[in-house]
Amino acid sequence: MKLSRLIAVAFAGAALTVGAATQPVVAADNPYERGPAPTNSSIEATRGPFAVSTKTISSLSARGFGGGTIYYPTTTTAGTFGVVAISPGYTAAQSTISWLGPRIASQGFVVITIDTNSRFDQPGPRGTQLLAALDQTIADTTVRSRIDASRQAVVGHSMGGGGTLEAAKTRRSLEATIGLTPWNLDKSWPEVEAASLEIGAQNDTVAPPGSHAIPFYNSLTNAERRSYLELRGASHFAPNSSNTTIAKYSIAWLKRYVDNDTRYEQFISPGPSPSLTNGISDYRIN
């Protein structure tokens, strides 16, 4: 059972019966909240409230993936953080998605961006490597004391996005997945239980949303929650450079489902209304 479901069950049962009377008990504050209450400005900013340090994992020391970079909050007093692994797309290096590492970490996560074993790896191996990167980050001597290993998520671009679903199919305990213009030949994902956000691009000719991200979204019938966001006028390669829309909704999704932080629900439901001014052409949530 997902962490957020466990918390919901616990809160739902937080009542004491004394004789014939039932006395409600006020639920404790969410212990996984990190940082101040969010605003549009705070999650659109290039950096959040936490200072971030980095650690390089060389290809020689990486176990099961091609090396990477860990981004982590420098604080040791704010409690533990959820952990997120991010994969690049087909033929791409981690440098193409590295902008997301410090941006997400500064909002209160330990993040690893990875290189894959081969730039030609398909979604299946990318999913396996995302899980290997999570495991190595959780065990890393520099950051392990900062990590809550029960709160894990994966993000990926293109075949890396398809790999997030492969990872969640294998590891049912993942809290969240985010596919950025995701690509996978498998279009059906009823096995995935993690809350899953698919971000497509309106003008994507490599992984057209109608053939990839939207079928993925439609098939995620057993996910804790699912959402589809489409970037107006964008191409398949929109995730390869700093993008405020991608960052904003990725952060909101991770905060909501890795940290169970309901303060971020305001950005998810009902969610953005597609318009010419906000750069969004479609938004759906179950």
Exposure string of 191-212, with b = 16+ CB inside 10 Å and e = fewer, is ebbbbbbbbbbbebeebbbeeb
CA distance 153 to 168: 9
Residue 24 phi/psi, 5-degree rounding, is: -65, 145
Nearest-angstrom CA–CA distance, 248 and 197: 12
Phi-psi region of 260 (alpha: psi -120 to 50; beta: other; left: phi over 0): left
Nearest Cα residue to 74 out of 54, 60, 53:
53
Task: Confirm if 86 and 112 have CB atoms less than 8 A apart.
Answer: yes
The dihedrals phi and psi of 159, each to the nearest 5 degrees, come to -65, -25
**Joined tokens for residue 20:** 């014939």
Q: What is the DSSP string of 13-77?
A: T-EEEETTEEEE-PPPPPTT--SSPP-HHHHHSSS-SS-EEEEEE-TTT-SSSS-EEEEEE--SS
Catalytic residue ranges: 158, 204, 236
